[in-house]
Structure 1
Amino acid sequence: MASLSFIIGIIGNIISILVFASPIKTFWWVVKKKSTKNYKGVPYITTLLSTSLWTFYGIMNPDGLLVVTVNGAGAIFQLIYVILFLVYAPKDKKVKTAKLVAILDVGFLGAVIAVTLLAFHGTMRLTFVGIICAGLTIGMYASPLSVIVPNAIGFILGSAQLILYLMYNNKKSAEAVEEEEGGGGGGSAHLVKGGIEMHSVEDNLNNRSLNKWKSLPKPNFSRQHSMQKIIKTLSLTPYELQSSWPLHESDIEEGNPDLP
């Protein structure tokens, strides 16, 4: 049983070493072009920290031969990558990378080793270092989720806003329809009432005009007949006019019906 686990451990180590060796092609291109272009050094720096801590854990563990070999090889690969990155990176990126290496791969790693050796004893050392190593490994594998998590939260919040908008928008539309229906009935009543009032006003004006016309004094017959005579006289030809003379003024004024 022990031999089977050892064989599986060796297979796992070979696969892990192949994974650690995968950036060789990338850094071969970096050395050839003498530029890191848009590459970032953070993955190699964090992997160097993780492999170094796992190597330290394997050294303290009596059965940690396989852990030491695979992580020791990985630490060597990552150290070479970090050095090449510092050599060929632009000046501003080189400064930032050097600061990060000093903080993580020197400062943090040295602090963990010092605390483990000075503050813990026996199995507590393995427990303390093992928890830190496991946390770093989980963080490295979960790091791609940093791109997904904000988008997922934005999707949830955006969906909630859309649902609230649809709910309150439908409610507002229903209230607007009710107001229009209520206001429309009142408006129709006002229109009908206004039409009736306007109709009654017009009837009153017409009746008043008719009564006024009826109340005017009627012209007497003689005056009306005189006006007809004058109009008829103005329409006569000169010959007819001479044959009708002399006209008496009294006849014209009194409206004698015997005049032509």
Structure 2
Amino acid sequence: MIWVVYGLPFVHPNSILVVTINGAGFFIELIYLILFVIYSDKKKRLKIVLISIVEIIIVGVMTALVLSFAHTTKLRSSIVGMIAIVCNVMMYASPLSVMKMVITTKSVEYMPLSLSVASFANGIAWTIYALHPFDPYIAAPNGLGTLFALIQLILYATYYKSTKEQMAARKAKNTVGLTEIVFNGKVAQLPHNGPAQNK
């Protein structure tokens, strides 16, 4: 929402791509949230609805204040741009907790590769877009986002093999759990290797 406000002609002129792309992203995220609210339990539903309402109010108040008290597009761009930087850095930094878990567990099981690749591509695309003409408010957070995504990809490459080994070991452990069966009314002991032997 903040990037849509930033790209408006009376905030930051000549930013049609910022408005259209982030506007489309806003509607996709809105659909995602609606689906989440429909299918989640009551407690989670209430939490998400309240957070969404607070966010809408904050962005609405910010937009009204900027348009009322900042009378040039340069000043409006600076104010909204700084707020957008903070929000974007928070978004890109959110996987840091997952990255810590990856290093601790030596497993990338809970860090999807597709999300890391998409973040990396997104960061590169917006950083390149921001270079000509140079727009520090788009370049700074997306440059940092590219770096975070690159670190995720390096972690993925580093711990991919150990993740496969851990998952294979877990699968093997689950399949070897049964050691006894009932055969013709008698309990038969199953050794790990070899046929069943009657007790």
TM-score (norm 1): 0.36
TM-score (norm 2): 0.46
Which one has a bigger Cα radius of gyration?
1
Which structure's residues are more often strand, by fraction? 2
